[in-house]
Structure 1
Amino acid sequence: MKNEWHSCRRILCIRPDNIGDLLMSTPAIKALKETFHCHVTVLVSTMGAAVVPEIPEIDDAIICDVPWVQTNNIPLPSQFHELVQRLKERHFDAAVIFTVYSQNPMPSILLAYLAEIPLRLAYCRENPYHLLTHWIPDEEPYRFIRHQVLRDLELVASVGGIIRDRQLSIRVQEKLWPLVWNKLQALGIDPEQPWLILHPEVSEQKRKYAVTDWISAGRKILAKRDCQIVITGKSNEAEAAAIAAGIGGNCFPAAGCLICRS
């Protein structure tokens, strides 16, 4: 079965959720790219699309907010039919559906099936029968819980993907560094000294840690390392300020302050 994948030249990676989810999949996407020497397209949401240009292994993207993922837009049924047709026209050789264990993969699996993509790989708890050509039974969270990066790497390894690097893949826009430097200094941070980021903001409240947990984590970090801590986020300045005040020492609230436009 693995030999089929070595003849793939156009692979679709379905990851229609947030920026962070797409970044977690980049080591697996890199493994696909390097193993099969293929053209990689990602199906992403409008939220995830923001980081696509900074991921070197991605050749192009199809941007669509699908109805089975929480997004800021409300998709219409007609858009799903249009998406199926768009995928058909691209003549993909294979589709890899990336999910976290709490997501239902079936809508994305059905999308790939209706688009007539010959090889379809995903985790799934239920037996998908003919909807998938390569089914990996999902044992999370009942038997174990893995880091998302490892979960995705093991998925592509099941079809012969060779894992050489487990690091997230993202380009840094060096031209933005002077602007970031100035913003850090304005906050009272010394960019020439070690600093790290705590980012408490989440897209889903069920993933949110309590402020007291962030304070506890920050204090433990400062007890072991001589560094500065920056509390980031797009908004919620009050929460960032509360966490920074609770941690004390070299901790700086920066929610809403470090957004840079290229």
Structure 2
Amino acid sequence: MKSPLHNCKRLCVILPSWIGDTVMATPALRALRTHLPNTHITLLGRAGLRTILSGLPIFDECVEHRMRGWLGPLSNLKPIRAINADAMLLFPNSMRSAVIAFASGARTRIGWNRQNRGWFLSHPATPPFMTTPYSSVDNYCDLTELALGAPIRDRSVQLHCSVEELATGFRLLDGLPMPRVILNPGANRLDKRWSTANFAALAIALRDTCGAGVAVTGSADERDIVDAIVSASNGAAISLIERDVTLAGLKGAIAQADLLITNDTGPRHIAAGLNTPCVSLFGPTDHRFTTLHETPSANNSEVAREWLLIADPFLPKEVIANHVAQIARMDRISVGDVTHAATQLLNAKLR
């Protein structure tokens, strides 16, 4: 049986909206390039995603378009139709993405049949029945397997840093003593954030226990959080916002850092894609939705690159942390536990 993408000359992939989800789509994108070497692959997504994926040899062009709201992408279909795609592959599960694909003029439109959107898809795929959380990495890969008619065995995430991004990252971290640790205290929800007091105490502990140079990063909207941590750190941390950090520069900085410590948000996935060790803090979001498959290390070391700290690690597997927010609170993760995890990962890297 031929795959839906058999003889496809121009493929358009609609990317997820969030940075982390886009990073988790890289194994599926890599498989598309491997199995469709002569197909022109266009990625369609919101502003900023091109920066995340730049330098990867897995696509031919990336079209950035306003994707928020119903009228956002539909208010100007000209650049979408100009892609002239034979086929559309939809990673988001939204009705909006199905309408975009239908309006694009592509004859082949492949996506999971969720939210009753099968009417807009030429190949609506039946989503797997799951009783426990299902990683977005596997969600995108499983859909792509159906589109290609071939298995995807390598499901490790991957990113690339350009020379310019590395140079910018070097300037951001300039002057920090080794080992260099980046703290990322932001998140898109308040209940996903570890407290500023804890991050400040962590910065002090890392300086005092291992002489680390600590930098705190965040978006412009998170300046108050970053400033509060730096102010309370007694000189143990600097602000990357004050050094004009950008998304491209953050990529370069994370690539050269010895460790990232972060809430459950985009920089965690950037670190995974760049093989930077990471301590990830999880509260009322179940870590199983974003399980990341690690690539084998260059020296075949068994040391993991990511250390997960979960607010309630003893929840039964049938209980989803998202549904028990009062139990899975971020304040249940102690500064001591994060310091221990950070020290272990730093020591493993130095060995």
Change over 3 Å in CA distance of 1:212–1:233 after alignment to 2: closer
1:73-84 alignment runs, 5 A limit = 75=72, 80=74, 82-83=76-77
Aligned to 1:14: 14
TM-score, normalising length: structure 2:
0.56
Aligned to 1:144: 132
Q: Structure 2 residue aligned with 1:125, among 81, 99, 114?
A: 114
Q: CA RMSD of the aligned region, Å?
A: 3.8
Change over 3 Å in CA distance of 1:216–1:251 after alignment to 2: closer
1:143-162 alignment runs, 5 A limit = 143-159=131-147, 160-162=149-151
1:148 is aligned with what amino acid?
S
In structure 1, list runs of 5 or more residues that go unmatched: none
Partner-residue secondary structure (3-state), 2:158: coil
2:14 is aligned with what amino acid?
I
Q: What fraction of aligned residue pairs are identical, expressed as a percent?
A: 23
Change over 3 Å in CA distance of 1:33–1:176 after alignment to 2: closer
Q: Distance in 2 between matches of 1:9 and 1:86?
A: 18
Cα shift readout 1:190-218 (whole Å, capped 9, x = no counterpart): 2xx3434332333x336732326964996
Q: Does 1:98 align with 2:91?
A: yes
In structure 2, list runs of 5 or more residues that go unmatched: 250-351
Change over 3 Å in CA distance of 1:42–1:182 after alignment to 2: closer
TM-score, normalising length: structure 1:
0.71
Cα shift readout 1:39-75 (whole Å, capped 9, x = no counterpart): 2101111233443533331211222103438xxxx84
Cα shift readout 1:156-215 (whole Å, capped 9, x = no counterpart): 1222254253333332122443443343234xx22xx3434332333x336732326964
1:143 is aligned with what amino acid?
T
Report if the CA contact (8 A) 1:126-1:137 is conserved.
no
Q: Distance in 2 between matches of 1:63 and 1:115?
A: 15
2:195 is aligned with what amino acid?
V
Q: Structure 2 residue aligned with 1:205, among 168, 189, 213?
A: 189
Report the alpha carbon displacement of residue 13 of structure 1 after superposing the two structures with TM. Answer: 0.7
Q: Does 1:167 align with 2:168?
A: no
Report the alpha carbon displacement of residue 152 of structure 1 after superposing the two structures with TM. Answer: 1.4
Report the alpha carbon displacement of residue 11 of structure 1 after superposing the two structures with TM. Answer: 1.1
Aligned to 1:54: 55
Report if the CA contact (8 A) 1:93-1:118 is conserved.
yes
Change over 3 Å in CA distance of 1:108–1:179 after alignment to 2: closer
Q: Distance in 1 between matches of 2:108 and 2:44?
A: 16
Q: Structure 2 residue aligned with 1:231, among 216, 239, 244?
A: 216
Q: Distance in 2 between matches of 1:215 and 1:130?
A: 48
Report if the CA contact (8 A) 1:106-1:124 is conserved.
no
Report if the CA contact (8 A) 2:183-2:199 is conserved.
no
Change over 3 Å in CA distance of 1:178–1:12 after alignment to 2: closer
Q: Distance in 2 between matches of 1:244 and 1:163?
A: 44
Report if the CA contact (8 A) 1:95-1:117 is conserved.
yes
Change over 3 Å in CA distance of 1:39–1:157 after alignment to 2: same
Q: Does 1:254 align with 2:274?
A: no
Change over 3 Å in CA distance of 1:257–1:129 after alignment to 2: same
Aligned length: 242
